[in-house]
Structure 1
Amino acid sequence: MTLQATKTCDPRTSLTRSLLGYGVIAGPVYIVVSLSQALTREGFDLARHQWSMLANGGPGWIQVANLTLAALTTLAFAFGLHRALPSGHGSTWAPRLVGVYALSMAGAAIFPADPAMGFPVGTPEGPGAISLNGMLHFACGVVGFAAVAVACFILGRRFAVEGRTQWAVYSRVSGALFLVSFAAVAIGAGAVWANLTFVAGILLIWAWLSVLSLHLYRRAS
Structure 2
Amino acid sequence: MSTMRKQRLTRALLTCGAVAGPLFVLTVVIQDYTRTDFDPRRQPLSMLSLGDLGWIQITNFVLTGLLNIAFAAGLWRALRPGRSGTWGSLPIGAYGTGLVGAGVFRFEPAWGYPPGAPQGLPDDPGLGYVLHGAAFFVVFVSLVTACFVFTRHFAVRGERGWAFYCAATGVALSALYLLAGMLSDGGENSRPLSLLLRAIALLGWGWAAALAVRVRGSHTPAGISAC
TM-score relative to the length of structure 2 = 0.89
After TM superposition, give the deviation of residue 184 of structure 1 in Å: 2.4
- Give unpaired runs (5+ residues) of structure 1: 1-6
Residue 176 of structure 1 pairs with residue 143 of structure 2: no
Alpha-carbon contact 2:44-2:193 (below 8 Å) kept = no
Amino acid at match of 2:51: G
Quote the residue 1:116 is aligned against.
110
List per-residue Cα deviations over 1:19-64 (Å, max 9, x = no partner). 0001111011111111111111122111111111100111101111
Quote the residue 2:68 is aligned against.
74
How far apart in 2 are the matches of 1:56 and 1:194?
A: 18
Which stretch of structure 1 is more off in the superposition, 41-50 or 55-64?
Answer: 41-50
Quote the residue 2:224 is aligned against.
none
Quote the residue 1:200 is aligned against.
199
- Give unpaired runs (5+ residues) of structure 2: 221-227
Alpha-carbon contact 2:98-2:138 (below 8 Å) kept = yes
After TM superposition, give the deviation of residue 122 of structure 1 in Å: 1.6
Instruction: Tell me the matched-pair count.
Output: 214
Residue 43 of structure 1 pairs with residue 37 of structure 2: yes
Amino acid at match of 2:191: V
List per-residue Cα deviations over 1:54-108 (Å, max 9, x = no partner). 0011110111111111011111101001111113343212101110111111111
How far apart in 2 are the matches of 1:37 and 1:92?
A: 36
Quote the residue 1:3 is aligned against.
none
How far apart in 2 are the matches of 1:186 and 1:133?
A: 20
Alpha-carbon contact 1:184-1:198 (below 8 Å) kept = no
TM-score relative to the length of structure 1 = 0.92
After TM superposition, give the deviation of residue 136 of structure 1 in Å: 0.6
SS of equivalent residue, structure 1 residue 102 = helix
Quote the residue 1:159 is aligned against.
154
Amino acid at match of 1:18: A
How far apart in 1 are the matches of 2:107 and 2:180?
A: 14
> Which of 90, 97, 113 lines up with 2:91 in the alignment?
97
SS of equivalent residue, structure 2 residue 72 = helix
How far apart in 1 are the matches of 2:26 and 2:211?
A: 19
Which stretch of structure 1 is more off in the superposition, 191-200 or 135-144?
Answer: 191-200
Alpha-carbon contact 1:107-1:140 (below 8 Å) kept = yes
How far apart in 1 are the matches of 2:181 and 2:49?
A: 19
Amino acid at match of 1:194: L
How far apart in 2 are the matches of 1:138 and 1:11?
A: 40
Alpha-carbon contact 2:177-2:200 (below 8 Å) kept = yes
SS of equivalent residue, structure 1 residue 44 = coil
After TM superposition, give the deviation of residue 213 of structure 1 in Å: 0.7
> Which of 19, 23, 33 lines up with 2:13 in the alignment?
19
* Cα root mean square deviation, aligned: 1.6
Which stretch of structure 1 is more off in the superposition, 178-187 or 154-163?
Answer: 178-187
After TM superposition, give the deviation of residue 191 of structure 1 in Å: 3.7
Which stretch of structure 1 is more off in the superposition, 143-152 or 89-98?
Answer: 89-98
SS of equivalent residue, structure 1 residue 90 = helix
